[in-house]
Amino acid sequence: MTQSLNVRNFAGYAVIAAILNSLIFFIAKGADATMVVNQGGSQEIALPMVFASTFFGLLVAAFVASKIGKKSQSFLSKSSTVGLIFGIVTAAAPFSASDDSKTSIGLASMHVVAGLVWFVGTKRSTK
């Protein structure tokens, strides 16, 4: 029997991740994080950016994984773990993008949350 990732079911998990990352944003701002990153110029991270990038990033990834999974069942079975690893590995990026350690920790936490929710969400949305 072939399995597939139900993107509609996964969308609920993407919303949960976006809400959790929004809470992390508020906690970081409350701890006086600047939420400014230096990527080819200084840019301040705002709440709508956090919510939208988390939600749409996970949703697009689920859609792509769903399409690839229809062609490759082995990819689909590994995509949960690959996404978790990706979230954890990319958590290092904010430490080079921000001069403020509170901002770096907040943004890194968001990467980990996205990876964890991806892992749980894809496992529970695959049928």
The answer to the question of residue 20 being in a domain is yes
The answer to the question of residue 21 being in a domain is yes
Distance CA 69, CA 43 (A): 36
- Tens of pLDDT, residue by residue over 106-117, are 999 999 999 999
- Tens of pLDDT, residue by residue over 4-59, are 999 999 999 999 999 999 999 999 999 999 999 998 889 999 999 999 999 999 99
Total-model pTM:
0.94
| CB environment 24-49: b (16+ within 10 A), e (fewer) | bbeebbeeebebebeeeeeeebeeee
Q: Is the pLDDT at 1 greater than 60, yes or no? A: no
The answer to the question of residue 1 being in a domain is no
Q: Which domain holds residue 22?
A: 7-125
- Tens of pLDDT, residue by residue over 69-104, are 999 989 999 999 999 999 999 999 999 999 999 999
